[in-house]
Chains A and B, each alone.
Chain A
Amino acid sequence: MNINTTKVISLLFFIFSAFYLYTAYQIQVFAFDENAPFNARTFPIYLGYAGLFFSGLKLILPDPNTIKVQHKTLEYKKTAILIIIAIIYGATILKVGYFLTTSLFLFSSYYFLGERRWVLMFLLSFPFVAAFMYLLHGVLDIYLRDPFLQSIGVMG
């Protein structure tokens, strides 16, 4: 059976809106606000119904412009690797520090995307991050937490 993915997304959105609406009704408001014309749950409730309405319409009405994606030509593997590297980067940036994690993130991303010009890869990671860090931290005075550089005495 050929499933229209746009309809599947609309169905997921419909379920999401139903969940949103249920959660909106669960919002605890102050007792004196319970019967007020507008309280903290009023707007979310309207939004929940609007979500159900539009996704419901999309589900019911015929879809004349069906989008067909050629999954065989999509680079799922490289995209997934890049996402995993970004998650690891996000997980280590605070503990290890901005300089080392960012440089390693850039270097490994270049590598996994197929780059093999080692000198350029190095220049566009470690020295580039150092220069960018100087712009943010040194010139613009934006604080960048970096336990690694602090431990080796480079950063105060």
Chain B
Amino acid sequence: MIEGILIGLTTALTFQNILMVMVGCFFGTIIGMLPGLGPMTAIALMIPITYGFDPATGLILMAGVYYGAVFGGSTSSILLNAPGVPGTVATSFDGYPMAQQGKAGKALAIAAWSSFAGGTLSAIYLLFMAPSLSKVSLSFRSPDYFALMILGLTAIAAFSSKGQFLKAMMMVVLGLMLASVGQDSLSDITRFTFNNMNLTDGISFVLVVMATFAMSEALTIILKRNDPTSAAKQVSLTELGSIKINKEERTKMYKTIPRSSVIGFLIGVLPGAGATIASFLAYGMERNVVNDEEKEKFGKGSVNGLSAPETANNAACSGSFVPMLTLGIPGSGTTAVMLGALLGFGVQPGPRLYMTNPEIFWSIIMSMYIGMVILLILNLPLIPYIARILAVPKNYLIPLILFFSITGIYVMSFNNFDIYLMIGIAVVATFMRLYDFPMPPLILAFVLGGLMEENLRRSLLLSNGSWEFLWDRTLTLCILLTTILIVVWHFYKTIIKK
């Protein structure tokens, strides 16, 4: 391993590769900040450029873009409540309320330090645990994945405040229903398209996230303009606030970061899971482990609530490299794009990558450390400038949010229908938000919908239509029991509090 680390350092510390990490982090941050343009778009845009370099340099550039875009996505989540990627949706739960309280600078600093710590810690885990973790992830079967997704969706109960469990579950079902629109992945049979060709490929994730978060947020702000409580929020939004993190906040982060980085990394390792589940689970877990006083702050600008998903999503980014590099299975949509690029270089990922191309494997791991440091150096000093977006008056900010949302959809599809659909979903979402129907469960369910159906299909086909697959394997049973425990615990707590 020492030899591998040295090979990695020698490759990663060349002038060209350090420059690539810097360029990748910088452009990734800018692109990730624009709602609608997430890491996947950013990396896809980089693919033609990377073909001019050797495979190691190309992948280092893409890894830099990845981290930068994830951090950039957090920035737009915190400042505009417009997460460009699913992995940063949980960041907005407490990041945005914190910004509304005039602590935007602090929220961005907490996000930057948490991202840095999460990424660095998970790079260390990756270094020492990659070989054994790949074996663990290999042992996961379809029933385990299906149970894990049920667990992820049920954990939403942890996000919903008192009396919102059924509303959250309704939004979960709605999210899964929206995800079922379009062609069935196996048989290509169209479902719920009503003979509309525009729906054949399904509804895009960016469209749903833009409609339910960015657009509906903008419409809600206008709708509640004369509401005395929201007027107070608008005044405080123009205050930048300090980027300094005090001792009490640091103490909270010291406890949150290690546990969230472990969750993030482990979830990131599982093929198909990735940063979204990691950040939601870390948020849910954090909410459950803190004391009652801190628990009350969740959703209202909690330091733990912001630090946990930020640590976990960056840790999951590193974790998602494990199945990609060792098994050739992408851990997320973004690493799937990178896998395509790797194949384009003529490099075959798999267990033999250690032996055939050690410089690629180890230089990516080493460049992760360098990337994290660069991201911190680049983003912390820029926080006061980035946060100035908040100083834009509402009369300008609202049309600009709508403009970014519509542009995000327009450049993706060049289709009027998608714009109308987005406006329609945004209007419905705005109305539902007025009555406290939570949107995050809908987004998570929408992201997981396809994977969930795929794993249920495999499980049912293997068990010949019997639901016994849910308790046949110990691992599946354990995940399922955890899910039941969460539901029972939630109802027990609700009844006890009554």
Contacts and interface: CB of A to CB of B under 8 A. Distances in A.
B291 interface: no
A94 B222 contact: no
Given A37-B464, A75-B225, A82-B398, A65 B162 contact: yes
B425 to A, nearest CB: 12
B78 interface: no
A136 B411 contact: yes
Contacts of A58: 166-167, 170
A10 B260 CA distance: 35
B435 A5 contact: yes
B124 interface: no
B289 interface: no
A21 B263 CA distance: 37
A50 B173 contact: yes
B463 to A, nearest CB: 8
Interface stretch (B104-112, B187-195, B243-251, B349-357): B187-195
Contact of A102 (B224, B403, B453, B457): B403
B447 to A, nearest CB: 15
Contact of A83 (B177, B427, B461): B427
B419 A93 contact: yes
A104 B163 CA distance: 44
B406 A86 contact: yes
Contacts of A23: 192
B61 interface: no
Contacts of A43: 180, 452-453, 456-457
A99 B471 CA distance: 58
A155 interface: no
B226 A75 contact: yes
Interface string B278-305: 0000000000000000000000000000
Contacts of B420: 87, 90
Contact of B416 (A61, A93, A141, A144): A93
B460 A89 contact: no
Interface residues of B, number: 63
Chain A contact residues: over half helix, strand or loop, or mixed?
helix
A61 B434 contact: no
B481 interface: no
B414 A105 contact: no
B15 to A, nearest CB: 24
B211 to A, nearest CB: 11
A100 interface: no
Contact of A44 (B164, B180, B187, B434): B180
Nearest to A61: B166
Given A13-B174, A37-B465, A27 B427 contact: no
A86 B402 contact: yes
Interface in B416-470: 416, 419-420, 423, 427, 430, 432, 434-437, 452-453, 456-457, 460-461, 463-465
A70 B227 contact: yes
A70 B227 CA distance: 8
B223 interface: yes
Nearest to A137: B411
B465 A6 contact: no
Given A78-B225, A109-B402, A13 B170 contact: yes
Nearest to A35: B465
8 contacts: A9-B432, A27-B191, A58-B166, A79-B430, A109-B398, A115-B393, A136-B411, A143-B411
Interface of A: 5-6, 9-10, 13, 17, 20, 23-24, 27-30, 33, 36-44, 47, 50-51, 54-55, 57-58, 61, 63-65, 67, 69-70, 73-76, 78-79, 82-83, 86-87, 89-91, 93-94, 98, 102, 105-106, 109-110, 113-115, 120, 124, 132, 136, 140-145
Interface of B: 31, 45, 162-164, 166-167, 169-170, 173-174, 176-177, 180, 184, 186-187, 189, 191-192, 219, 222-228, 393-396, 398-400, 402-403, 406-407, 410-411, 414, 416, 419-420, 423, 427, 430, 432, 434-437, 452-453, 456-457, 460-461, 463-465, 498
Given A64-B498, A114-B395, 8 more contacts: A5-B435, A27-B189, A37-B463, A44-B180, A47-B177, A79-B223, A106-B400, A124-B396
